[in-house]
Amino acid sequence: MKIKGILPLALAVIFVLSFSSALYAGTKLNDKMQQLVDTYASEARSTNPGFSGFSAEDGKRLYNLSRIHSKKNESRSCTTCHTKDPSREGRTKVGKKIAPVSPAVTPERFTDPKKVNKWFRRNCKWVLERECTPEEKGDYITFMMSL
């Protein structure tokens, strides 16, 4: 009776842990950011039962993906401003400098959930004409943290 109650709980704990810590072997996320990424993971799981953790590979694909904007009729990508190399300084469309997006070069990257959410919203809409999904955001952060 007791064991039956504990087992699902233990499995749930193992399930959650396996998504969070193991992925970030390189630079480590702070607690606030880890919480945000954990939220992305549970959201991703609820919309996609086959979700098996974030992928740096998919994050890299999103970073390099290029798309024609439906109204502006121009090619847009994360690399338009952040350059093809995340360790290099970027530029906004009006020429303002953007510090490299790689946390290996700019340690403040991915330390503030508010900032991260704000810019995901803005930039995903600018490039993809929609918000990024929680899975895409988690993949993107996983890619950046792997650099």
Q: How far is CA 135 from the centre of its chain?
A: 7
**Could you tell me where the beta strands, DSSP code E, fall in the chain?**
66-68, 75-77, 90-91, 97-98
Query: CB under 6 A: which stretch of 17-25, 40-48, 49-57, 112-120 binds ligand HEC?
Result: 112-120
Rounded Cα distance, 112 and 105, in Å: 16
Question: Torsion over CA of 49, 128, 125 and 57, rounded to 10 degrees?
Answer: 50
Rounded least distance, CB 20 to ligand HEC, Å? 19
Rounded least distance, CB 79 to ligand HEC, Å? 8
Question: Torsion over CA of 43, 66, 28 and 99, rounded to 10 degrees?
Answer: -130
User: Site for ligand HEC (CB under 6 A): how many residues?
Assistant: 19
The structure tokens listed for 8 are 């699902």
Work out whether 4 is an interface residue with ligand HEC (CB under 6 A). Answer: no
The structure tokens listed for 81 are 């401003």
Work out whether 123 is an interface residue with ligand HEC (CB under 6 A). Answer: yes
Contact positions with ligand HEC (CB under 6 A) in 45-84: 78, 80-82
Q: Which is nearer to ligand HEC, 80 or 142 (CB)?
A: 80
Query: CB under 6 A: which stretch of 3-11, 13-21, 43-51, 110-118 binds ligand HEC?
Result: 110-118
Binding residue for ligand HEC (CB under 6 A) from 47, 48, 119, 121?
Answer: 119
